[in-house]
Amino acid sequence: MDMLKTLALFVVTALAEIVGCYLPWLWLKQGGSAWLVLPGAASLALFAWLLSLHPTAAGRVYAAYGGVYIGVAIVWLMVVDQVRPTTTDWIGVALCLAGMAVIMCGPRTAG
């Protein structure tokens, strides 16, 4: 159950990071309102806070989170950007998630 909670927290964290970057991108690249920067900044602050909720060493959390982030980014590509991911996109996600699993489930030594 702890692994599912961690995965869910990673997904929410990834969404906060993506939204925090996407909103300023809309302003800078798509002619959106400059006011998009404020919720974008709030979303990035939420992202940083969510990362702090993990009890594991920060470096390990960041490394494992990266695998989930990549998967969420590809789903974002499909849902928000309306771009169909390629087979190699999905293979890359699978490889990243496998790497994340190795990092998170590997044995720990003291020290």
pLDDT for the residue numbered 2: 80
C-alpha 87/C-alpha 93 separation (Å) is 10
Question: Which residue in 63, 55, 70, 59 sits closest to 5, CA to CA?
Answer: 55
C-alpha 91/C-alpha 34 separation (Å) is 37
Does residue 51 belong to any structural domain of this protein? Answer: yes
Domain range spanning residue 59?
2-105
For the chain, the domain total comes to 1
Mean pLDDT, 10 residues at a time, the chain of 111 residues? 82 95 94 95 95 77 86 96 97 93 79 55
Quick: pLDDT tens for 100-111. Answer: 888 878 787 765
